Amino acid sequence: MGKEVKSQWDGFSLKPRREVPGGLWLACPACGHMLHRKSVEQNLSVCPECDSHFRISGPERVSQLVDEGSFEELCSDLSSDDPLKFKFRDTTYKKRLKADVKKGDANEAMLIGKAFIRGRGVMLAAMNFDFLGGSMGMVVGEKFCVAVEEAIAQSLPLVVVSCSGGARMHEGVVSLGQMAKTSAALAKFDEAGGLFVSVLTDPTTGGVTASFAMLGDVIIAEPGALIGFAGPRTIYETIKVELPEGFQRAEFLLEHGFVDMIVHRKDLRSEIGRLIDYCGK
């Protein structure tokens, strides 16, 4: 008998092919490269091609910074109210709050707690851009002040990671009042001889920049972070002026003396530990 010849159709199935799971890939917003999501996460959410630092959530920031299992969260039950019964577009502030709680892993735009960073005890506050753009309302202001008070009581350095679109418009003057409240708390902390390390990430803007973010004893910025009061788009829409290239970026601010150093995300833990040791805290 002759040798059986295999057809190119042997093994062919009319069943639909299993689709590749969604969310495995993402495009870097800076260089446009398609990146495997897991490899980016393993690289601390930094693009392996161009070194662009992606925005990360507050809980992610905490897990990256602190010694494993050391974070003891405070005031996790605090949540925002709606003092102005604010309505915008086709929804309300209350509905927006509920939606952001459901979609994320935090119930406000700031997490605070005691932790250890490379074995050094700290009081840590990390802003969460995933929650209403990291905007500062009365709960953020209250949490910040609790963190300052605990840092004084326990003689701990205060480390605050800012990532914010500014004051929360939904709370009007109540939100704006947090600028003075947080600044006054830091004045008290300074009188007590505390060390405040302020870490600015992309973006740090509006009322947060105009208050506690720029009041650090040491101000650290991540590479390429947008830092300013009004963003480039707002400035153009207001006064029709195109800003110079790189204006309001971390490198520009370092050159002009507004921040003390730029630190890559992979070095942030060790740099904070070094600063605490250097300052004797």
pLDDT in tens, 164-206: 999 999 999 999 999 999 999 999 999 999 999 999 999 999 9
Report pLDDT digits (tens) over 209-234: 999 999 999 999 999 999 999 878 88
| pLDDT higher than threshold 60 for residue 242 | yes
Q: In this predicted structure, what is the pLDDT of residue 146?
A: 98
pTM listed for this prediction: 0.90
What is the arithmetic mean of pLDDT over 243-260?
94
pLDDT class for 64, splitting at 50, 70, 90? very high
- Per-domain boundaries in the chain: 17-54, 55-278
What is the arithmetic mean of pLDDT over 48-65?
96
Superfamily of domain 55-278: 2-enoyl-CoA Hydratase; Chain A, domain 1 (3.90.226.10)
Question: CA 235 to CA 211: how far, in whole Å?
Answer: 20
